[in-house]
């Protein structure tokens, strides 16, 4: 594999200015053309705007800042960065282990779709967070100033529909939620486009896996948790991909680590 570089950005500002500064940072990067190629030419802007207005209105301002610095219309910026009504992506494999002391996660996906940016962001009207950018506005995973940590895990495209990507959902929750319970409430209300697991933990030691499909959302809780790429709730097992042997093996490997009291 070729060398892979990540820029670490720290921005404290109002949301529009955060978007503007982020836009200037990526202006001449290949990721802009990549996102233009893999997203739809246009989306239902009013539906996207209504969704963001309900859950994270400050991110509309951030999108407008991106549009301003990249010389795009608001509608085009929304299609490229909002994470709403995104075409199907290829399968991903990611694993997480959560305990009261740590949250450990890997993420396996095509390097061509990595943003190559790790952001520490403090908007004027949302919680500060640190996380790895996906589709610029979204996050692969991250942690916020209240100690909420989250990550995404692809399950399947069963029931795929127009809705919100998991990386946009993570950004919304990190910006607005302080605890696992608050994040669960939000994840139950968001319109999910595909089937994903969300692994969550908070500073109080609460942990959960939210198994989310376009039709149903279920929550799994234990004193320590593993999370991979298949649903375990009986109501959702029929939505798993046909071949989940690799995901099951990774979960078994992680389960064996739970009793080792690793620091």
Helices 58-70, 45-55: inter-axial angle, 10-degree rounding: 130
Interstrand relation of 7-13 and 117-123 (parallel, antiparallel or unpaired): parallel
pLDDT digits (tens, 9 = 90+) for 86-98: 998 776 778 999 9
CB-based contact 183:225 (threshold 8 Å): no
The answer, yes or no, to whether residue 5 has pLDDT greater than 90, is no
Characterize the bridge pairing of strands 149-156 and 138-144: antiparallel
pLDDT at 192 over 90: yes
- Give the residue-averaged pLDDT of 16-31: 95
Phi, psi of 244 (to 5 degrees): -125, 20
* Range(s) of the chain covered by CATH 3.60.60.10: 93-115+140-258
Q: Band of the pLDDT at 256, cuts 50, 70, 90?
A: confident
β partners of residue 11:
121
pLDDT per residue over 65-92, tens digit each?
999 999 999 999 999 999 999 998 776 7
Gap between the Cα atoms of 96 and 94, Å rounded: 7
Contact 227/200 with Cβ under 8 angstroms? no
Provide the pLDDT for residue 1. Answer: 66
Which of these, 211, 252, 254, lies nearest to 231 by C-alpha position? Answer: 211
Over range 173-177, report the average pLDDT.
98
pLDDT digits (tens, 9 = 90+) for 43-56: 999 999 999 999 99
Q: How much is the average pLDDT of 203-222?
A: 95
What is the topology classification, in CATH, of domain 93-115+140-258? Penicillin V Acylase; Chain A (3.60.60)
């Amino acid at each position: 594999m070729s060398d892979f570089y990540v820029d670490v950005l720290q921005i404290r500002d109002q949301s529009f200015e955060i978007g503007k500064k982020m836009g200037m940072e990526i202006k001449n990067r290949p990721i802009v053309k990549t996102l233009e190629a893999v997203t739809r030419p246009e989306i239902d802007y009013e539906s996207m705007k209504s969704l963001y207005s309900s859950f994270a209105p400050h991110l509309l301002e951030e999108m407008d800042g991106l549009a301003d610095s990249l010389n795009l219309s608001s509608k085009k910026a929304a299609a490229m960065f909002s994470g709403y009504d995104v075409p199907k992506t290829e399968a991903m494999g990611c694993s997480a282990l959560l305990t009261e002391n740590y949250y450990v996660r890997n993420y396996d996906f095509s390097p061509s779709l990595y943003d190559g940016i790790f952001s520490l962001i403090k908007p004027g009207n949302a919680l500060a967070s640190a996380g790895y950018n996906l589709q610029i506005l979204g996050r692969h995973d991250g942690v916020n100033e209240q100690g909420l940590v989250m990550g995404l895990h692809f399950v399947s495209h069963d029931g795929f529909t127009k809705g919100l990507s998991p990386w946009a959902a993570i950004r919304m929750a990190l910006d607005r939620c302080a605890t696992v319970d608050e994040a669960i409430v939000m994840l139950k209300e968001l319109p999910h486009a595909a089937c994903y697991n969300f692994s969550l933990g908070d500073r109080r030691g609460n942990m959960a896996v939210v198994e989310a499909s376009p039709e149903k959302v279920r929550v799994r809780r234990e004193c320590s948790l593993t999370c991979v790429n298949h649903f375990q709730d009986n109501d959702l097992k029929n939505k798993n991909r046909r071949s989940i042997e690799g995901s099951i093996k990774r979960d078994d490997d992680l389960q064996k680590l739970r009793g080792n009291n690793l620091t």
